[in-house]
Structure 1
Amino acid sequence: MALNKKFTRAKLLIIIITTVFSFSSMSDAFFLKSYSAIPWFILCAIVYFFPYCIILSDLTSVYQDEKGGVYSWLKETNTEKVAFIATFLWYGSYFTWIISLVMKTWIPLSILIFGKDLTGSNQSVWHLSAIQWVGILSILLIIVMTLATFGGFRNISFFSVMSGRFMLFLVSVMFVGSLFLFIGHHGQFAEPLHVNNLFKSQGQFQTPIENLSFLLFGITAFGGLDTVSSLVNNTGELKRNFGKYLLVSGIVILSMYILGVIFWGAGINVQEFIHGPYHLGNLMYGLMGQLSLNITNLLGLSASAGAVLTTIFMRLTALTLFTAYISLLSILFFVPIRSLLESIRGMRGDNVTEERQKIQLKKALGLQAVFIALFVFVLSFQNQWAAALYNKLTIMTNISRSIPYLLVALSYPKFKQLYPTHPYLSFVNNKKVTYLLSGLVALAVFLGIVFSVYQKISVKQFVDASWLVSGPLLFSVVGYVFYKMIVKNPNKLA
């Protein structure tokens, strides 16, 4: 697909950075561990994020013209069966996440328009409850997003760049506000910054188990590389240096997380904040509200002026989160289903025209929209059976999403053996370093999986723990059944 000439390096960097970087994860980190989150972010970057950046850098340099994402990365280093099942697991986990995300999108929009979250209201309008209205609006959003993704990468890049600019603006507002408070308090951090505080949690997480769980949190905060890397074939001439952009973006993302935690501490004392009515669901709004309150107090503004400033901060946060959701939905609606479709084409040995591929993709996007809309409808109209099923699916796909990353990491050494003379964009050509990178990422993902199960067991949620473990097995069986259907009856899925 041809790109507009105005698609620049800067726009690609914005897409990569804002797909991975999360303002809410940065805020959560400060709330949970204050400055002691910084060493954990650095550790996660060393053992997972940067090694995975390098691995994907190499993969995208070789498969820069492929559309299959995970399938393309695994099909030559594993059997076709393994590559397809991994892609099916990857798609299934994102399908489940889309359902949740499309309904959550209305929370920031409600705050943006009305100044508060009305999605949980008990009031009814035209005999429909708030959750039912959320369902109806979500179905409309599904239709709009599906039509938008018919335009392919051009529309996805538009949403991503727009969201990225809002995100960078919000970060800038937070940085400037915190810096203003830092200067106004004569160079004193609201949350005292000492070397000891880098290694002792001052936030909500205090116990050894809670602190260890931050390793999993840190890995999750660096998620999204696989999704954005699956778009490499759409980036025109920039795909030749896509790996470099991944590495540059990785450095920027880690820097933003570290500086974000420090700047939050410059303007807000976490000890005063963690005892308020905040949780990870509303934390981002709470921190921005607290920042505006601290600025109001420093300037000695009137109550009405302070309320206006708080409204601006809160609605800017809501607008940023809303555009972030829209951007993420545009990517998730498009990339996973395209990868699954490409894996099916690969197994069938299809060699169809570009125009025919576009038609097939639109049909797949339309079918996907129907199934997502059906789930949203039964969930919003409070079908208890559907709600229970969805909750189980969510638990089951938590680990399923990690397994493709594990396979990609484990397959990396064999991939390097297949293409030993390729001019890789990364600096890794040493066999020992290749195995080290592979081992670090695989170990980090494996520990994340183990700890996910351990967390459930430690609080005696044995049923949920069993669903976590059985989820990948069940999805693998379903994926295997689809694989056999495609191999035996390829024409039925044409």
Structure 2
Amino acid sequence: MNELDKPQKQYIPWVVVGLMDFVTVIGFDDIIYNFQNQGLVAFTSWIIMTFFYVIPYNLIVAHMGSTFSEHGGGITSWMRETNGDTVGYYAAWFYWITGLPYVVDVANSVVISFGWIANGNGNIQANLGNAWFGILTAVIFVIFIWLQHFFKNKSLEIMSTIGGGAMFIMTVLFVVMTFVGLSKGAPIATRPFDFKAFIPKDFFSLSFLSTFGLFVFAMNGSELAAPYTKDMRHPARDFPKALKMIAIMTMFLTLFGTFSLGVYFNAHHLPNDLKMNGSYYAFQAIGRQFGLGT
């Protein structure tokens, strides 16, 4: 075949890779989970995690992804190239098995979203029962598979870009509306709301350390974009850019998002279903503040 007749390879811009990765690293629900566990103290925990975990973690992923940019297996390829086929196989298997709960959780979130669209509340599981809720979750899972087949190689790129961009825009909107409300004299739900309220009373207590460990789970996933380095025009240069973008976006979402949650929710008396419906409660509170919604 003539060189001119060969189809040109489609490269993925580093910004798109960053958005694809961002949606796997952190989400609005992640800050809500940890806010329910620690309250305003979560703000300090996010700062600690940013400097002692997120930044070093992203630097490691950026280095490994750039070094093995021609391999499409991500962390599996890294382990295989550095430790052999057996370790690479176990890395792939463990990575697959640990991802299953996350996939199910995402499908559950979609079902809950439809419940809010249809009923305006988060009672869909109580109304349907566990059996039907599980069936709907399975249906959503199958639809995801069909979409991936329909869009073929572009499915993850398209959906992750939309999801990552929408997630960050939603967070920016939430934070901006929070400060607009404060500028108009809106009350702060959490009291006290001073410097001491953001500092853990005992860094080495079992209650703090047990919840602090969940922050690691909330902020990992940067390596999931590594397989796409082979589809970047200049992976050694551009992949680190994507990781830096993720770090900045993650810092904004976690720090300002936690601050805003403390404004709208009383950290000492939180709803029992905040982890399931917290995102909707947050924007519902903003709507009420500005006379919108119910």
Q: Verify same fold: TM over 0.5.
A: yes
SS in structure 1 of the partner of residue 51 of structure 2: helix
Task: Check if 1:144 corresponds to 2:143.
Answer: yes
Amino acid at match of 2:226: S
Amino acid at match of 1:270: N
Counterpart Cα distance in 1 of 2:261 and 2:127: 35
Q: CA RMSD for the aligned pairs? A: 3.2
Q: Which residue of 2 aligns with 1:270?
A: 266
Query: Would you say the 8 A contact 1:39–1:199 is kept in 2?
Result: yes
SS in structure 1 of the partner of residue 69 of structure 2: coil
The 1:29/1:240 distance shift into structure 2, 3 A limit, reads same
Q: Deviation digits for residues 268-297 of structure 1, max 9, x if unmatched?
A: 25246x25444422223233333333x15x
Amino acid at match of 1:283: G
Query: Would you say the 8 A contact 1:27–1:287 is kept in 2?
Result: no
Q: Which residue of 1 aligns with 2:3?
A: none
SS in structure 2 of the partner of residue 282 of structure 1: helix
Amino acid at match of 2:155: N
Structure 2 unmatched ranges of 5 or more:
1-6
Deviation (angstroms), 1:106: 1.1
Counterpart Cα distance in 2 of 1:96 and 1:217: 15
Deviation (angstroms), 1:24: 1.2
The 1:21/1:3 distance shift into structure 2, 3 A limit, reads farther
Query: Would you say the 8 A contact 1:103–1:138 is kept in 2?
Result: yes
Deviation (angstroms), 1:163: 1.3
Query: Would you say the 8 A contact 1:107–1:119 is kept in 2?
Result: yes
Q: Which residue of 2 aligns with 1:411?
A: none
Q: Which residue of 2 aligns with 1:12?
A: 17
Task: Check if 1:115 corresponds to 2:98.
Answer: no
Q: Which residue of 2 aligns with 1:281?
A: 276
The 1:247/1:2 distance shift into structure 2, 3 A limit, reads farther
Counterpart Cα distance in 2 of 1:104 and 1:43: 28
Counterpart Cα distance in 1 of 2:277 and 2:96: 29
Query: Would you say the 8 A contact 2:26–2:218 is kept in 1?
Result: yes
Q: Quick check: 173-182 or 205-214, which moved more?
A: 205-214
Q: Which residue of 2 aligns with 1:81?
A: 86
Query: Would you say the 8 A contact 1:278–1:286 is kept in 2?
Result: no
Query: Would you say the 8 A contact 2:72–2:228 is kept in 1?
Result: yes
Amino acid at match of 2:197: N
Q: Which residue of 2 aligns with 1:33?
A: 38
Q: Which residue of 2 aligns with 1:291?
A: 286
Q: Which residue of 2 aligns with 1:72?
A: 77
The 1:179/1:232 distance shift into structure 2, 3 A limit, reads same
Alignment size in residue pairs:
286
Amino acid at match of 1:291: I
Counterpart Cα distance in 1 of 2:105 and 2:26: 20
Counterpart Cα distance in 2 of 1:275 and 1:109: 23
Query: Would you say the 8 A contact 2:36–2:267 is kept in 1?
Result: no
Counterpart Cα distance in 1 of 2:108 and 2:193: 39
The 1:74/1:120 distance shift into structure 2, 3 A limit, reads same
Structure 1 unmatched ranges of 5 or more:
124-128, 297-305, 312-494
Percent of aligned pairs sharing the same letter: 16
Deviation (angstroms), 1:219: 1.0
Q: Which residue of 2 aligns with 1:222?
A: 219
Counterpart Cα distance in 1 of 2:105 and 2:29: 17
The 1:26/1:152 distance shift into structure 2, 3 A limit, reads same
Query: Would you say the 8 A contact 2:59–2:240 is kept in 1?
Result: yes
Counterpart Cα distance in 2 of 1:31 and 1:119: 21
SS in structure 2 of the partner of residue 64 of structure 1: coil
Q: Which residue of 2 aligns with 1:51?
A: 56
Moved over 6 A (4+): none
Q: Which residue of 2 aligns with 1:372?
A: none
**Which one has a bigger Cα radius of gyration?**
1
Normalised TM-score (structure 1): 0.51
Q: Which residue of 1 aligns with 2:171?
A: 171
Q: Which residue of 2 aligns with 1:244?
A: 241
The 1:248/1:206 distance shift into structure 2, 3 A limit, reads closer
The 1:97/1:20 distance shift into structure 2, 3 A limit, reads closer
Q: Deviation digits for residues 293-318 of structure 1, max 9, x if unmatched?
A: 3x15xxxxxxxxx4xx235xxxxxxx
Amino acid at match of 2:281: G
Amino acid at match of 1:215: F
Counterpart Cα distance in 1 of 2:267 and 2:99: 36
Counterpart Cα distance in 2 of 1:47 and 1:57: 16
Amino acid at match of 2:146: L
Q: Quick check: 220-229 or 28-37, which moved more?
A: 28-37
Counterpart Cα distance in 1 of 2:87 and 2:78: 11
SS in structure 2 of the partner of residue 215 of structure 1: helix
Amino acid at match of 1:281: M
Counterpart Cα distance in 2 of 1:87 and 1:256: 30
Q: Which residue of 2 aligns with 1:310?
A: 293
Task: Check if 1:132 corresponds to 2:137.
Answer: no
Q: Which residue of 1 aligns with 2:232?
A: 235
